[in-house]
Amino acid sequence: MAKVAKKDLEPLLSKAGLELSEPLLGDFSTLISSLEESIEALPNDKVALPLPDLDKYPRTDIQVPCAEDNPLGAWATKVNYPDQDLVTAQCTSPSSDLLKGRTVALKDNMAFAGVRCTNGTAMIDWVPDIDATIATRIMDAGATINSCMQALSGTSITGPVHNPYARGYSAGGSSSGSGCAVATGAADLAIGCDQGGSIRIPASSCGVVGLKPTWGLVPYTGILSLAATLDHAGPMARGVRDCALLLEAIAGADGWDDRQPAVGLEGERVRFVGRVDEVQRREKGDMLRDVRIGVLSEGFAVPGQDDNVVAKVREAVEEFAALGAVVRPVSVPLHAAALGAWLCALPLAGGRECLLGDLGGRKQLHIADRAELVGSRLTQAQFDALSPGGANMYVGYLWVQEKYGTKLHGRCMNILKSISDAYDAALKEVDVLVMPTLPFPPPRLAENGYAEGPLKFTKRATGLIANTCPFNNSGHPAISLPVGFVPAREDPSVKLPVGMQIVGRKFADIDCLKVAAAWEKAYNWKTF
């Protein structure tokens, strides 16, 4: 290639506020020319990508469903024949039958080669060449992948996702399609992704079980990031055992994802189903013998919390004593500061990693072809295609980057470490913490989508993630278990599901599953 001339460098340096002498300009033009030669000589990075063997993992009949086939708005894209018996997104020679006969839905931010991946927005048009690691693991376990799911309940590219128990009400976000499909039986199981509550929010809203695993237990490879320090992917199911089953299929290191520890994710660390079965075989009063359950005081004191939610979850918590557990109150005062720290830390990382696809500094699979479609900043058309939450994050990113740089993000990360340490300290005294998953029942969907504007739209969910996002910050495992119904705030005659959140020690996801499994075995949440 031609040498980079001094005149090519001068505008760049001027924009950066630098002025170089002629000798220095000459030296740097030579050095940057050498850099350009190295860039041109790079080999094709696709050689390193986990491209799927489409003979072993075939998928056909990729389609965007029509309204008649998508009554609640749960599906973004399907990969099955109209005849449901002819689904083909599966492995021709699975390595196990752990998920044999099950259908699993993927959230629409997960790469599945040949299937559009919208991330819930029309910002760009991207069809991946790769499969996310957990998609491959699901097929290797004998399951069928029959869809890709949409994202935010009120803001997705294909329209709102309705609550399966009350049309016109939110199914929760952002894994709303996953929760809705599982609740209605359209899929046996689903994968959600959770950075502030996006597995647990739709699980609570739709009356299903959803587990945000310990940060790093499940590889995030091939999934679009919000912020790597917050990213979690995990199972959603109608029951705890199925949740454990899917977690067992997808957990463990994959050699790509730097969110995961280099060693230790094998053996009993990633075995869950047998221990859930063992708990559910016990007599009722013996299921949770010697288990210490801490009732997190601050989790029941979220500003704006619905009294019916508090009462219903407290009623559910009281039953743990009948299962043999020791139940006592626990206080973590820093819990109340976690939401603010999450909100202040998100713009810089989210703008770079989620919206611009800039994963600089991360040792993981980089989805470079999608990042190239976005560019170094959003165009007007791309910005206009964002949901209110996405648009708010991008404007916040521009503001924080300009006014604070990296200092604000660094300050927040230090604060979040102290909050994580406070949970660790509490979990030395008890085995799990319990609290409401959400502070209030699912709100009514906006009648005109997000045309009402980002401020009014966002106010509908003020405080929603107060009990969920703290554990994205900290990385502790957290499961939402349905424990009954409460009246909608807008119309008391409408009854909507409510979830109880159970939080465990890091990499002790099995404790969350066992406590949830015992309560589920003893009580019918739909009549509780």
| Catalytic positions, written as ranges | 107, 174, 198
Q: What is the rounded distance in angstroms from the CA atom of residue 436 to the CA atom of residue 302?
A: 10
Number of H helices and E strands in the chain, helices first, is 16, 14
DSSP result, 142-160: T-EEEEEE---TTT-TT-P
- CA dihedral sign of residues 309, 314, 319, 320: positive
| Consecutive H or E run containing 211 | strand 209-212
- Quick one: DSSP state of residue 199? T
Helix (H, G, I), strand (E, B) or coil at 1: coil
Encoded tokens for 215: 């940060």
Cα-Cα-Cα-Cα dihedral sign, residues 301, 304, 305, 308: positive
Count CB neighbours of 468 within 10 A.
31
Report the b/e string of 57-69 with b at 16+ CB within 10 A.
bbbeebeebeeee
301 SS3 class: coil
Distance between CA atoms of 314 and 297, rounded to whole angstroms?
11
**CB 140 within 8 Å of CB 104:** no
E-state strands within 355-493 = 432-436, 478-487
* Contact of 341 with 473, CB cutoff 8 Å: yes
Whether 524 contacts 289, CB under 8 Å: no
Q: Centre a 10 Å sphere on the Cβ of residue 339 and count the other Cβ atoms it contains.
A: 21
Query: Helices 273-280 and 509-522: crossing angle, nearest 10°?
Result: 30
Closest by CA position to 288, among listed 421, 434, 392, 426: 434
Checking DSSP bridges between strand 495-504 and strand 432-436, what pairing results, if any? antiparallel
Q: How far apart are CA 203 and CA 207, in angstroms?
A: 6
Q: In one letter, which amino acid is 22?
A: E
For residue 168, the one-letter residue type is G
Mark 124-153 as b/e (b = at least 16 C-beta within 10 Å): bebebebbbbbbbbbbbbbbbbbbbbbbbb
Distance CA(177)–CA(83), nearest Å, equals: 21
Q: Residue 303 has which token pair?
A: 């500003």
3-state secondary structure of 119: coil
- Alpha helices in 319-367, H assignment, sequence order: 335-350
